[in-house]
Amino acid sequence: MNSQVNLCCIKLYLMGITSKIDVQTINKGDIIMAKIVTMGEIMLRLSTPGYEKFIQADSFDVNYGGGEANVAVSLANYGHNAYFVTKVPKNPIGDCAVASLRKYNVNTEFIAKGGERLGIYFLETGASMRASNVVYDRAHSSIAEATASDFDFDAIFDGADWFHFTGITPALSDGAAELTEAALKAAKAKGITVSVDLNFRKKLWTSEKAQKVMTNLMQYVDVCIGNEEDAEKVLGFKPSGTDVTSGELELAGYQDIFKQMIDKFGFKYVVSSLRESYSASDNGWSACIYDGKEFYHSRKYNVRIVDRVGGGDSFAAGLICGLIDGKNMKDALEFGVAASALKHTIPGDYNLVTRADVETLVGGDASGRVQR
């Protein structure tokens, strides 16, 4: 192996995130180009124009997205070799979903074709004190009915540095939960770093079912990402003194549950995005991270929201990118928070900002002035 191939994994190894040394990673200039695999559901998004309610809409705007797909697009935009693994129907709508990923340089060679349908979600964007509303139509989607036999995980994880999944995929069906664990076992067998975004969805499963399934999956996880609701509903940890609807945070409560989570599951890092919801239009946005020794709270951004869908996914992608780049946990967190703050200003699920955009914001320029 040459020095270019080794650089990314050596950094992860020295940081204690991975025990894996033999990776197929290249160094493009001073940017680490890692192979990162994500797996989950990509959906057709039908959203009302502007801020219309469903009953007002005579048409819908079309986008594609989904938790893990959104992460893959972000990482591809940052220059990484991002792979998205899923199953879509063998029809024009499935083809359109795949094309939306290819457009942003996501590798789609391991996407399986077949099954009944692509999942759909309808979005009504809120404003001021009116909350956004999502309606799912995703039962019996292709990925929900997929099995491990649809995928060659040995080939998928060959040379991979990182695997990311969310709590949405195992919530789709019992079969999807089994598929997720099969992927996790294959990733860990190759010594690959694993991250999870807990992503509790109450419209998909109960907290009781989520805790039963996800607690088992945590044995494979190195980096755990979530927010205060996710920690409580998915793993049973609740920070004291925190009410996201009040617009106030009590950080001491997070540090306490982060310590409990590391003690129980052995995570290398526990990370939480922190949303202070002043209204549907204006949020405070920051994050915190804990490595078992040090707790760090990021800079806070006051965000005027254009589209908050995918905000958490863009945060996870930014954090992953920062850690793979070899940043310390504080700088990686700041990169993730800045990336996600910018995503809130972009319509659609995907975060289409560049590394330069993020670094500019991290460096302190939040003026929004026209760049000439």
* pTM (predicted TM-score): 0.90
CA separation for the pair 194, 316 (Å, rounded)? 12
- Residue found by looking up tokens 């124009």 in the block: 49
| Helices 329-343 + 311-324 axis angle, to 10 | 150
* Three-class SS state of 133: strand
Phi, psi (rounded to 5 degrees) for 38: -125, 150
Cβ atoms of residues 337 and 301 within 8 Å? yes
CA separation for the pair 306, 92 (Å, rounded)? 30
CA separation for the pair 264, 271 (Å, rounded)? 15
Between the two ends of the chain, the Cα-to-Cα distance in Å is 43
Q: Could you tell me the domains of the chain? A: 3-361 (3.40.1190.20)
Tokens of 124: 């009504």
In tens digits, the chain (372 residues) has pLDDT values of 344 444 555 456 545 665 443 444 555 555 668 999 999 999 999 999 999 999 999 999 999 999 999 999 999 999 999 999 999 999 999 999 999 999 999 999 999 999 999 999 999 999 999 999 999 999 999 999 999 999 999 999 999 999 999 999 999 999 999 999 999 999 999 999 999 999 999 999 999 999 999 999 999 999 999 988 899 999 998 876 555 455 456 788 888 899 999 999 999 999 999 999 999 899 999 999 999 999 999 999 999 999 999 999 999 999 999 999 999 999 999 999 999 999 999 999 999 999 999 999 999 876 655 555
CA separation for the pair 184, 169 (Å, rounded)? 12
Cβ atoms of residues 273 and 282 within 8 Å? no
Could you count the other beta carbons within 10 Å of the beta carbon of residue 120? 15
CA separation for the pair 82, 75 (Å, rounded)? 6
Q: 120-124 long-range CB contacts below 8 Å, 24 or more apart? A: 120/43, 120/44, 120/45, 120/46, 121/43, 121/44, 121/45, 121/46, 122/46, 122/47, 122/54, 122/60, 123/45, 123/46, 123/47, 123/48, 123/309, 124/47, 124/48, 124/52, 124/53, 124/54
Could you count the other beta carbons within 10 Å of the beta carbon of residue 85? 28
pLDDT score recorded for residue 27? 57
pLDDT score recorded for residue 284? 94
CA separation for the pair 84, 186 (Å, rounded)? 16
The identity of residue 234, as a single letter, is V
pLDDT score recorded for residue 241? 59
- Residue found by looking up tokens 């080794």 in the block: 6
Cβ atoms of residues 326 and 335 within 8 Å? no
pLDDT score recorded for residue 6? 46
pLDDT score recorded for residue 35? 98
Helical (H) or strand (E) element with 33: strand 31-33
Tokens of 254: 């997070």
CA separation for the pair 170, 174 (Å, rounded)? 7
Which candidate, 46, 44, 41, 33, places its Cα nearest to that of 5?
33
- Residue found by looking up tokens 């946005």 in the block: 285
In this structure, the strands spanning 223-226 and 269-277 are parallel
pLDDT score recorded for residue 25? 53
Cβ atoms of residues 183 and 165 within 8 Å? yes
Per the DSSP assignment, residues forming a β-bridge with 283 are 277, 303
Question: What are the helix (H) ranges across the chain?
Answer: 3-14, 67-77, 92-102, 153-156, 168-171, 174-189, 207-217, 228-235, 251-265, 311-324, 329-343, 355-362
Cβ atoms of residues 181 and 196 within 8 Å? no
- Residue found by looking up tokens 């995928």 in the block: 151
